[in-house]
Amino acid sequence: MRITLKVWRQPGPAVAGAFHTYHADDVSPDMSFLEMLDVVNEDLTAKGEEPIAFDHDCREGICGTCSLMIDGVPHGPKRATTTCQLHMRTYEDGDVIVVEPWRASAFPVLRDLVVDRTAFDRIIQAGGFVTAPTGSAQDGNAMLIPKEVSDLAMDAAACIGCGACVAACPNGSATLFTAAKVSHLALLPQGQPERQRRVQAMVRQMDAEGFGGCSNFGECEAACPKEISLENIARMNRELLRATLAQRPAGRMESGAG
Amino acid sequence: MKFDAKIPAGPLEEKWDRHLANLKLVSPTNKRKFHIIMVGSGLAGASAAASLAELGYTVSCFCFQDSPRRAHSIAAQGGINAAKNYQNDGDSTWRLFYDTIKGGDFRSREANVYRLAQVSANIIDQCVAQGVPFARDYGGLLANRSFGGAQVSRTFYARGQTGQQLLLGAYQALERMIARGSVTMYSRHEMLELVVVDGQARGIVARDMITGKLESFAGDAVVLATGGYGNVFFLSTNAKGCNVTAAFRAYQKGAGFANPCFTQIHPTCIPVSGEHQSKLTLMSESLRNDGRVWVPTVGGDKRAADAIPTGERDYYLERKYPSYGNLAPRDIASRAAKEVCDEGRGVGPGGRGVYLDFASAIARVGEDTIRERYGNLFEMYERITGENPYVVPMRIFPAVHYTMGGLWVDYNLMSTIPGLHVTGEANFSDHGANRLGASALMQGLADGYFILPYTIGDYLAGTKLQAVDASHPEFKAAEARCKAQIDRLLSINGTRSVDSFHRELGALMWEQCGMARNRAGLETALKRIPELRAEFWENVRVPGSAATLNQSLEKAGRVADFMEFAEMTCLDALTREESCGCHFRTEYETPDGEAQRNDAAFTHVAVWEYGGEGKRPIRNIEPLEFEFVKLATRSYK
Amino acid sequence: MSPLSALWHATVGKKIVMAVTGIVMVLFLISHVISNVLIFSNPGHLDSYGAWLRSLGPLLWIARAVLLACVILHGIAAWQLTQRAHAARPDGYDKYERQVTTYAGRTMRWGGVLLAVFIVFHILHFTTGTFHPDFHPGEVGRNVITGMAVTPVAIFYLVAMLALGAHLWHGTWSVFQTLGINHPAWNRSRKVIAIGLAVLIAGGFATIPLAALLGWLR
Ligand SMILES: Cc1cc2nc3c(=O)[nH]c(=O)nc-3n(C[C@H](O)[C@H](O)[C@H](O)COP(=O)(O)OP(=O)(O)OC[C@H]3O[C@@H](n4cnc5c(N)ncnc54)[C@H](O)[C@@H]3O)c2cc1C
Ligand code: HEM
Ligand code: HEM
Ligand code: SF4
Ligand code: F3S
Ligand code: FES
């Protein structure tokens, strides 16, 4: 089939970008979206133009590297599917597809469709961990964790850090990402000792990165390829409220970047 | 090249403990003064970087992804082994050790493998403490499953995302150390050269993948945790970025490369759908617990699966291996699939696929039970192929999955270059000629959490290190070499893309050095690879500049190394004149088609030494001695 | 930083402030709507309600101060969060498709501005009488009837009540999320409660201008 692409091209971080139109004439329905872009890139290379830069690695929906705003929806139209797992059979001959990078001031564009998501790493640095230095652990079965709790924590821990939640949110908010990690660790007994500091430090870092606040629009959940639930946002808010009411000064975590 | 594996003396069970007692220690105040360069942030790299920083060392950590959390370890699905014997089914350190040694077809070191089994239990404890949400049963205890045909249930898992959860645990520990300032993280940095000063590994040159700047980093020791080289086959289950560059550059600097031909092919992957295919997706092996593998009895049968009556189906695994049936080990299942496809009985586009049919399981236990067991996998399959496996049998085909070969290391995980340590899939590791399912995660974390942090201290405490910084001439020379290669790649301006070369190389390797190998094929490959390489250097087209994010340039550098590396792999396969584990030479098979080992001549590690530019590599051997186990022959009939 | 000021400085904290002030305002509106619909039984009831209010003396002023503080805090937080949201995405998308945001969610900001305008107008209308054509202090029922008799005013009230309904629909659901009041067992009912409250309050108020427009209020 024939597909027309309107792709955002931007040579570098501080350079103005623009949309360019490309045609992919021989698209097979079995191709993944990224394989379709590979083909376009082979064409561009053959013509002596620079290929479109886009992030990807595992191409099986788990590493969270691929991104792309496809026709106004992060990761494209299929529910619970990353861009690398989106297949061209979703489209029809003659379709025109608009492809843009994630847009958020905390995710500056590096080139074409590639953005810088290190803000997420810094949110984790602020407190998204359990302090458990190597060698200090007790036996894995010494702590009983009800299956339900463990499953719920796993639901939250499934986040792949792709940033689609930020891309989808009208406020450019990283609340779903942050809430997923706060929830994962707040639910488990291992996360208890640092529970209050963690949520305060992570929320502070999230704000410091320049993400917007949450208006509970729910776009993030709809866009999330791992179906991270809005329940996590409620849980994070509750955690923050509880931490504040517990009157612990909002100190830095011992090793937090705050 | 001489190899001292530095295996401690004493009974197998006591070697590691005795060794630990004898290792030199670095005093707490001195640790900070030692700078360790950690290349790689996968399970092996992140766990070691975090642990070393916790001990007090100054660490710089590198990865080519935009975040350490995206290392390829994230993709591991099935689980991680540990000899906990929580299930009371008779598992023990010894049994895990023996299974691993035997699974590796007796081509690994007893002492290393035993240690791996010993520390396996600590890994689970450590990961639980970090908050890894392993599966649990209703009583709140850790759940286990049996994996890859093991006779005991010793595999721990977190849904189908075990690698992800383990990596996030290590990543979070790493981020904690980054926040504390003990680790400096360099993401989107690709190591291009190892720098050796006075015979010791003292640093690396890396390219900042955003600005294109080449930067030198000097330290007191270098660790490579850069993963496997499965992408030499172009199509594999590995992430697109996986490469051999770091390991290969170290090899060019004098590190021995062990057993490159030991590459594992996984039997249950989604088949290639067309020319455009860019990678292959693994379907968990657990599917073989309920799925039945078959192809039509006669070749060229174009009927739909459900139109083929039972009598005209060949359930070839059940037929050939009645006791293991569909659960035959990975290499056997893979080769059997290739055989039937070579006979023209393959199904799906291109005839490179076999059916994995759930119809009888659905009839037996019901669709709901199957959905409960494999729902996610079925969804994934449907997403990729557009076919509903509840109705139409799945199509599967083997694909390159894991590489047992890697840089040679001694018991301390140090390569033949003093100061250069290698961990995880990047080293030649503990898996011999074949890795058991769920053992790679175990090995990466064993290396990173519980072995390297001790052994590297021994090296640092016991070695005289001159003050060296990035202004040393060796660094300048290494930078110049990198720059020259980049400039050369950009200036060729030929007519073929990097990918087209990589595809061609991969297809050649798959054909001649894949599941089944033979002299003629390997010799063909060894003739063709240098030609292809020459064409690459004359005719590749790498658009763009060196001073920006340039993905074509990144790929070109990696493919250039694969081109050299492929040759060494074929040479290794050619010179190992036996079949063992995943290395199957058609000349060496038993009358009933099993791998025929040649213990007298090949109970050794083949270690390749760089012979210089344009010269063939030199084959050395490290003999393997078996003091504690008897070499046995597998039989899965 | 004290915990409370830390809260105010966090985006989540500002939302918590909006939620709490929102709840206070909702509680006021519940009592306000109940007393207002009394007008249908007998406008005199409204007068005695007003008289009772004024009899509270200082208490009334405290209540007024609290309400005023709520409106102001709510407004400031709304303004700041809106600015933040704009700063978080300075360059918009060429193509952007909302998947799930409700109309109510989408209109929170402009709807809020409309409500602010309404509140100012409303106080100048019925409390101070400034905008009232024929204001009689104390005769609350009569003031409402005569005030609403001016058609454009009644229409303005209706529009404002539409905005209020939308604001409360998304706002009430949002409060549950913001304050972390959730449980899988009754999460579905959060939307029902939100719509119910919005319809009852805004609908209740709207009956008055509607009745006036239809000529039923005299
Ligand atoms: C699909 C799949 C499923 C698997 N499932 C299982 C399983 O269930 N159980 C199991 O035990 N094993 C499994 N494995 C194997 C296992 O995942 C890997 O062997 C293991 O994770 C490798 O870890 P690592 O840390 O050695 O390397 P990786 O995780 O590959 O990390 C390599 C790191 O090195 C960095 N790097 C590489 N080159 C450079 C360079 N030149 N410069 C800078 N940085 C560089 C990368 O950025 C990355 O951070 C699976 C593998 C695959 C492909
Ligand atoms: C001064 C006029 C008002 C303005 C400018 C205003 C503005 C806003 C805005 C912009 C929001 C969304 C904030 C966000 O999620 O980002 C909001 C939420 C809300 N508003 Fe208002 N509003 C006003 C008056 C009112 C009134 C009178 C009420 C109650 C009757 C009210 C109740 C709420 C509630 C309950 C929320 C939800 C808070 C949350 O999300 O937790 N608002 N308001
Ligand atoms: C049709 C709908 C409404 C009618 C008929 C109405 C009527 C009145 C009347 C008659 C008064 C004066 C009471 C007195 O002075 O004793 C009043 C006061 C007030 N109303 Fe309304 N009202 C309506 C809707 C609203 C709404 C939607 C809001 C808020 C968003 C609101 C907020 C107020 C406030 C804050 C006062 C002042 C209270 C005080 O301090 O005395 N009203 N209203
Ligand atoms: S919450 Fe979902 S959308 Fe956001 S980063 Fe995680 S996986 Fe991606
Ligand atoms: S879309 Fe944005 S507003 Fe909140 S609920 Fe999701 S972060
Ligand atoms: S490339 Fe890894 S999730 Fe898409």
Cα–Cα distance measured from residue B112 to residue B258, given in angstroms and rounded to the nearest whole number: 15
Contact assignment for C81 to A212 by CB distance below 8 Å: yes
Structure tokens at B156: 């721990």
Q: Which pLDDT does position A249 carry in this prediction?
A: 52
- Among B347, B352, B366, which Cα is nearest to B290's? B366
Q: In a 10 Å sphere around its CB, with 0-12 CB exposed, 13-18 middle and 19+ buried, how is residue B281 labelled?
A: buried
Q: Which of C103, C177, C179, C187 to substitute to test the interface with A, most A CBs within 10 Å?
A: C177
Return the H-helix or E-strand segment holding A200: helix A195-208
Q: How many CB atoms lie within 10 A of CB B637?
A: 11
- C-beta atoms of A34 and B449 within 8 A: no
* Nearest residue (CA) to ligand 4, atom 6: A159
- Strands B406-407 and B214-218, how do they pair? unpaired
User: In chain B, which residue's Cα lies nearest the Cα of A146?
Assistant: B140
Residue B553's nearest CA partner among B542, B563, B562 is B542
B465 contacts: CB under 8 Å, gap ≥ 6: B200, B220
pLDDT in tens, A160-183: 999 999 999 999 999 999 999 999
Say whether residue C100 is in contact with chain A using an 8 A CB cutoff: yes
Give distance in angstroms: CA of C11 to centre of ligand 2.
15
Q: Indicate whether residue C17 lines ligand 2 (CB < 6 A).
A: no
Taking CA atoms, C156 is separated from B564, C117, C122, C136, C209, in Å, by 79, 11, 10, 22, 9
pLDDT(B376) > 90: no
Structure confidence at residue C120 (pLDDT) = 97
Query: Does residue A103 belong to the interface with chain C, where contact is any CB pair within 8 Å?
Result: yes
Query: Where do the H-state alpha helices sit in B321-472?
Result: 330-342, 359-365, 367-385, 440-445, 452-461
Residues of chain A in contact with residue B124, where contact means CB-CB under 8 angstroms, are 140
The partner residues of B354 in beta bridges, in order of sequence, read: B396
The DSSP-derived string for B542-565 is --S-TTS--HHHHHHHHHHHHHHH
Distance CA C120, CA C106 (A): 23
The pLDDT score that the predictor gives to residue C216 is 87
Query: Strand, helix or coil at B223?
Result: strand
**What local confidence, expressed as pLDDT, does residue B395 receive?**
97
Q: Which 8-state DSSP code applies to residue A73?
A: E
Say what the pLDDT of residue C1 is. Answer: 66
Contact B414, B455 (CB under 8 A): yes
Q: Give me the pLDDT at residue B211, please.
A: 97
Interchain CB distance below 8 Å, C98 and A170: yes
**Residue B637 clears pLDDT 70, i.e. is over it:** no
Distance from CA of C23 to the nearest CA of A (A): 16
Query: Distance, in angstroms, between C125 CA and closest chain A CA?
Result: 32
* Cα B281 to Cα B384: distance, rounded to the nearest angstrom: 9
Q: How crowded is residue C111: how many other Cβ atoms within 10 Å of its Cβ? A: 22
Q: Which residue reads 């669709």 in tokens?
A: B367
Can you give the pLDDT at residue B284? 86
Q: Which residues of A touch B134 (CB under 8 A)?
A: 140, 150
CA angle C165, C169, C174 (to 5 degrees): 140
Answer yes or no: is pLDDT of A193 > 90: yes
Answer whether residue A256 shows pLDDT above 50. no
Q: Tell me the mean pLDDT in the region B179-196.
A: 98
Query: Which one of the listed residues B70, B115, B292, B330 is annotated catalytic?
Result: B330
Res B350: pLDDT? 87
Instruction: Please count the helices (runs of H) and the strands (runs of E) in chain B.
Output: 18, 21
Q: Say yes or no to pLDDT of B160 above 90.
A: no
Q: What is the pLDDT of residues B555-591, one digit of tens each?
A: 999 999 999 999 999 999 999 999 999 999 999 998 8
Angle at the Cα of B119 from the Cα atoms of B201 and B107, rounded to 5 degrees: 70
Predicted local confidence at residue B591, as pLDDT: 84
Share of chain B above pLDDT 90, in %: 91
Q: Encoding tokens for residue B126?
A: 């450590």
Residue B473: Cβ within 10 Å count? 8
Is residue A230 within 6 Å of ligand 4 at its C-beta? no
Please list every residue in chain C whose beta carbon sits closer than 8 Å to the beta carbon of residue A223. Answer: 99
- CA pair distance A34, B551, nearest whole angstrom: 14
> What is the rounded distance in angstroms from the CA atom of residue A168 to the CA atom of residue A69?
9
Q: Which helix (H) or strand (E) holds B131?
A: none
- The CB density around residue B635, as the number of other CB atoms within 10 Å, is 11
Tell me the C-alpha distance between C209 and C211, whole Å. Answer: 5
> Rounded CA gap, B106 and B598, in Å?
11
Per-residue confidence (pLDDT) for residue A248, from 0 to 100: 52
- pLDDT at site A246: 86
Q: A209 in contact with C at a CB cutoff of 8 Å?
A: no
What are A41-57's pLDDT values in tens digits?
999 999 999 999 999 99
Query: ∠ CA B324-B326-B331 to the nearest 5 degrees?
Result: 80
Q: Do residue A235 and residue C96 have CB atoms under 8 angstroms apart?
A: no
In this prediction the ipTM stands at 0.96
Q: Is C57 on the interface with A (CB under 8 A)?
A: no
Active site residue B330: yes
C-alpha angle B272/B273/B276, rounded to 5°? 95
Pocket probe for ligand 1: among B127, B147, B193, B226, the residue whose CB has the most ligand atoms within 8 Å is B226
pLDDT exceeding 70 applies to what percent of chain C? 99
Q: Does C48 sit in the ligand 3 pocket, CB within 6 Å?
A: no
Q: Cβ atoms within 10 A of the Cβ of C55, count?
A: 10
Q: Which are the contacts of C7, defined by CB distance < 8 A and separation ≥ 6?
A: A240, A244, C13, C16, C17
- Non-local CB neighbours of B354 within 8 Å, separated by 6+ positions: B293, B294, B295, B337, B340, B341, B346, B347, B395, B396, B397
pLDDT of res. A247: 62
Interface mutation vs chain A, best among B54, B57, B70, B558, most A CBs within 10 Å: B70
Query: B431 phi and psi, to 5 degrees?
Result: -100, 0
Helices then strands, each counted (H, E), chain C: 9, 0
Kindly report the length of chain C.
Answer: 218
Which of A82-91, A244-253, B617-626, C86-95 comes out lowest in average pLDDT?
A244-253
> In the prediction, which pLDDT does C183 show?
86
- B449: Cβ contacts below 8 Å, ≥ 6 apart: A134, A135, B47, B48, B51, B119, B122, B123, B126
With touching defined as 3+ CB pairs under 8 A, do chains A and B touch?
yes
- Round the average pLDDT of chain C to a whole number and report it: 94
Chain A residues 152-191 within an 8 A CB cutoff of chain B: 153-154, 157-158, 160-161, 184-185, 188, 190-191
Residue with tokens 């020379």: B477
Q: Which atom of ligand 4 is nearest to the CA of A167?
A: 3
User: Could you say which DSSP state residue B436 is in?
Assistant: P
Going from the C-alpha of B99 to that of each of B86, B104, B152, B403, the distances in angstroms are 18, 8, 10, 19
Return the number of CB contacts < 8 Å for A and C. 153
- Work out the mean pLDDT of chain B and round it to a whole number: 96
- The reply to whether A119 touches chain C by the CB within 8 Å rule is no
Q: Which of C126, C128, C161 to mutate to test the pocket of ligand 3 (most atoms within 8 A of CB)?
A: C126
Residue B234, token pair as written in the block = 């172009």
- Contact at CB, A140 and B168, closer than 8 angstroms: no
Q: CA dihedral in degrees (C94, C100, C101, C104; nearest 10)?
A: 140
List, for residues B29-63, the tens digit of each pLDDT value. Answer: 999 999 999 999 999 999 999 999 999 999 999 99
**Residue A25 touches partner B, C-beta closer than 8 Å:** no
pLDDT 10s digits, B468-527: 999 999 999 999 999 999 999 999 999 999 999 999 999 999 999 999 999 999 999 999
Inter-chain touch A137–B122, beta carbons under 8 Å: yes
Verdict on whether the full-model pTM lies above 0.80? yes
Query: Which residue has a Cα nearest atom 35 of ligand 1?
Result: B40
Ligand number nearest CA of B400 is 1
Residue C18 Cβ < 6 Å to ligand 2: yes
Cβ of C209 closer than 6 Å to ligand 3, yes or no, is yes
What SS3 string covers C19-52?
HHHHHHHHHHHHHHHHHHHHHHCCHHHHHHHHHH
The pLDDT of residue C112 is above 90: yes
Closest CA to B293 of B273, B321, B272: B321
Question: What angle in degrees, to the nearest 10, is found between the helix axes of B162-180 and A118-127?
Answer: 80
Residue C44 has pLDDT above 90, yes or no: no
Chains that touch C (3 or more CB pairs under 8 A): A
Yes or no: say if A116 and B66 are a contact pair by the CB < 8 Å rule.
Answer: yes
* Tens digits of residue pLDDT in B91-141: 999 999 999 999 999 999 999 999 999 999 999 999 999 999 999 999 999
Q: What percent of chain B has pLDDT over 70?
A: 100
- Tokens of residue B575, six digits: 């010179």
**Measured between alpha carbons, how far is B81 from B133 in angstroms, rounded to an integer?**
16
pLDDT in tens, B353-374: 999 999 999 999 999 999 988 8
Nearest CA to ligand 4 atom 8: A162
Using one digit for the tens of pLDDT, what is the confidence trace for B302-311? 899 999 999 9
CA A164 – ligand 4 centroid, Å: 6
Contact residues on chain C for A170, CB-CB shorter than 8 A:
85, 89, 98, 101
Q: How far is the CA of C218 from the centre of ligand 6 (A)?
A: 68
Measured CA to CA, the distance from residue A163 to residue A177 in angstroms comes to 7
